[in-house]
Amino acid sequence: MASTVLDSVLFRDAFGTPSMRGVFEDAALLSRYTEVEVALARAQGRLGVIPAAAAKDIAARCDASRLDLERMKLETETVGYPILPLVRQLAAQCGESGKFLHWGATTQDIMDSAVVLQVRDALTLVERDLDAIRAILVRQAKRYRDTPMAGRTHLQQALPVTFGYKLAIWLAMLDRHAERLEQLRPRVLVGQFAGAAGTLASLGERGMEVQKALMDELRLAQPVATWHAARDGLAEAVNFLGLVTGSLGKIAYDVMLMASTEIGEVAEPFVQGRGASSTMPQKRNPISSELILAAAKAVRQHAGLMLDAMVQDFERATGPWHAEWIAIPEAFILTGGALHQAKFMLDGLIVDEARMRRNLDMTNGLIVSEAVMMGLAPHLGRNEAHDIVYDACRVVAEKGGSLAEALAKVPEVTKHLDRKALEKLTDPANYLGAAREMVDRVIGDRPHYSHLRSDRK
């Protein structure tokens, strides 16, 4: 039986996705280990480091699906690592040719290269979902480009914005993550093959040549220097996930607040029974947003763990390396789950434009007091204009009425602005600044930083 939310029958598809779990499941990991061992034999056979016939035999006969997993488990617990038990079984599959398996390699070479292959697949899934969410946000930002709503700072109404402006800010964050993803690939998708202390000494003068041939087989970059104990690449990948889920968490937090009963400007997509309470039939909880926020918090912990694991001893680490085995799969699975929830939530987001307008008008013009102050400033000076509008705002707050009505009773104001001008200045829809232009700038002629490509496996 599963014991964590990532594998639980109840929770695994709330916090992850089948496709991302498939990248990191045991069978996939063992397949990647085997792929690296076979690729190494192919490379060495092509270069004459091992007999070409043995390399061909190894490639034909190594089969991860035939591994005895119970034996692998027991021997891994004894050895502390899975590669020696793996090599024993694969060598047995290959008969006489098996003695040339794992030639000149060390355990960490195979495990590191395999995890990079997993990360390559996982990043492709992340990219796919990022692209989908960005496309949704482009559509939504266009639709709500001109929809005025209250902008809020410190949880208080501040100045008017548009909902499209808010969506464009979310979109711009994810555009930057797409750019980061393209930039980090060359740094992260680098294989490992360096031997016991990282010097390739066991292969003599052929070491670097074999290393290059192996990376060509795996379609990974050749390392400039051994990174057995220099873990910045994988740390960058997981911290990138922390950035992505951090942005998704910000979006989810906004949606949860806007969906609260008192604000009521948006709601997550309606699905019969989703978000229901066991005791309060009226409840419709923002489930996707809650799951995104929880995943974001967990991924940040794994990002911190990867930074901690960068501090390693000498040429080959002790415990810090093992911490990566925990952090990398869990961070990717949680990120996959958060992206999946964000796609669902944003694609079907229910937007109440009328409620946005009512909330915008609830302060009777106070939300645009700055507009009136700036309208009066050329006539009275900024400081005096500020004080006059401040006093008028207090009148509205204490006695009711609108800001335009209060200002219409102030001689210093009516001397320069008539009632029509005051009504115009106190209409929130007339004080949107460059919000709409910013939407256009984000969604129009913007660079597309990432695209799904068929050559990425």
Record the pTM. 0.90
**Residue 214 and residue 290 in one domain:** yes
**Residue 198 and residue 330 in one domain:** yes
Give catalytic status of residue 277 as yes or no: yes
Whether 265 maps to a domain, the answer reads yes
What range does the domain containing 401 cover?
366-425
Give catalytic status of residue 278 as yes or no: no
**Residue 249 and residue 384 in one domain:** no
Question: What local confidence, expressed as pLDDT, does residue 457 receive?
Answer: 36
Whether 346 maps to a domain, the answer reads yes
Given 3, 65, 154, 278, the catalytic residue: 154
Please give the distance of CA 224 from its chain centroid, rounded to a whole number: 28
Q: In total, how many domains does the chain have? A: 2
Given 260, 277, 379, 451, the catalytic residue: 277
Whether 282 maps to a domain, the answer reads yes
Please count the other Cβ atoms lying within 10 Å of the Cβ belonging to residue 137: 26
**Residue 348 and residue 263 in one domain:** yes
Instruction: Please write the tens of the pLDDT for every residue from 80-98.
Output: 999 999 999 999 999 999 9
pLDDT tens string for the chain (457 positions)?
788 998 889 888 899 999 999 999 999 999 999 999 999 999 999 999 999 999 999 999 999 999 999 999 999 999 999 999 999 999 999 999 999 999 999 999 999 999 999 999 999 999 999 999 999 999 999 999 999 999 999 999 889 999 999 999 999 999 999 999 999 999 999 999 999 999 999 999 999 999 999 999 999 999 999 999 999 999 999 999 999 999 999 999 999 999 999 999 999 987 766 655 555 555 578 899 999 999 999 999 999 999 999 999 998 888 889 999 999 999 999 999 999 999 999 999 999 999 999 999 998 888 888 888 888 899 889 899 899 989 998 998 888 898 888 989 988 888 888 888 888 888 888 889 999 999 999 998 655 444 433 344 3
Question: What local confidence, expressed as pLDDT, does residue 417 receive?
Answer: 85
SS (H, E, C) 34-90: HHHHHHHHHHHHHHCCCCHHHHHHHHHHCCHHHCCHHHHHHHHHHHCCCHHHHHHHH
**Residue 125 and residue 187 in one domain:** yes
